[in-house]
Structure 1
């Protein structure tokens, strides 16, 4: 809940700016929130739409409209009515407007089903959506084949009960489906930050196709602000399909970061270029293109010590000797001459 409290604090500090009459002030406030909080800010505001305080609801709606206008993408302007998954970075699951945490699980769970396994099963079911999964596949991915089908049955019963308590019996019935040896989590009642990120990227690409990269730049930056971390990386399960999708999202994000940093480098805006390179290297410290560009930036600023530190960090993360044609190695050899 610390992350939610921080997001709420930042929202309270920024609310007056989001609701300001000056569009430029609104834009700057929206950019600040999306950069610091990311897609979680939509979760915070949509939870406020369910508030009993009419003024708070009205302000939350106006704030969502401001974010939609300046983020240039469609935002749901209603309280959650299904299951919402924040999958980029730390996993967070919402049932209606209630966050399903370990505390809520302990309060409602009447079985011996553990919270971490229930969270992993929900994440696994969410990922596969309409495709569903077999009980054997779930046992392999989540329990590493060290449990029986009764463990899944117990966990499913507990999940249904908790969803029913937080979101109503109808949602529990529609969301979680089991038939013979297969399980589904209906995509009709689910939403996620990963889908929001992909839609934002698609919108930015449409703007670039219609105009040019510079026109699409704010939209690409907005899409990057929604990427809060790697997909389901904090969940204790392994599945090749999840790993493939995780790598697909990482590749998309890094491609955007590389293009944005390249733009700022071409414009001689070295501080912004450095900022974007560092963002990308937090996701993949061995991205050669970003490392070389950051080395170029440090060289232009005559930051020799930072060049050596970055190079040594790159070598550590590489975990072995670089190839002869490694771009970072080639750049360092030329720089040291």
Structure 2
């Protein structure tokens, strides 16, 4: 079965003076999926999105979005995509309805489409109020609705839930799931790794301008094994527990004195929780809890993007 890619790039390069923002970025995002774009600050995420949305041109390499070349067919790409930036771009002096109808007119979309989106995003009752009176979550929903007026084949979402309360974040996440179920391909950049874990079919971890790691959330978690964590009864037992985990896992444990926890990553598939507990008991460490679980995406991110400390 042949996979059709909504976004496909090969060897993208982009330089700003002496800074190489992209160093041969390869992406392959299947149609109708949600792709999480993650990476540390300065990794090249924003530059990649700017290239794919035709806001800047690559210095080398190629990219196609919705079947169109971003360099030679920029206008066709723009007609096929929606973009929601990190900050809502709606006009605060206009009402919600006026904002969407204005965008609809500029995009030559049916006026009725604007009214349908207001209802779909739960904004119909507030549609007659100026957007400046909206909460942050409502403004983000209005901004997202504006990006959907032309039913984009590909939607770029840059930090869509930053600064929102949990209810608003859930509303945006539900909207993303619905879009993907209807065939829209979503490229999502987010600081909330839990969000990427919940929403993304695949994740691309960009580091130093390249796609350093690609896979499903489960596949990325499997790269670093399991996570053993112990809660000791008394803070005085932290270092003894750390020594046990160091010996069992072969990796440096992380200590949290306030929470009285010690945790360490292990790639040993034979390590079991009963063994961890027995070794702690043999070392005289009193514990109140112990777990051996898959790592969180946050732990994967920190592990895969770790930097060596410079030598003094």
Question: Do Structure 1 and Structure 2 share a fold, with TM-score over 0.5?
Answer: no
TM-score of the aligned structures, taking structure 1 as reference length: 0.32
TM-score of the aligned structures, taking structure 2 as reference length: 0.34
Question: Counting helix residues as a fraction of each chain, which structure ranks higher?
Answer: 1
Question: Counting strand residues as a fraction of each chain, which structure ranks higher?
Answer: 2
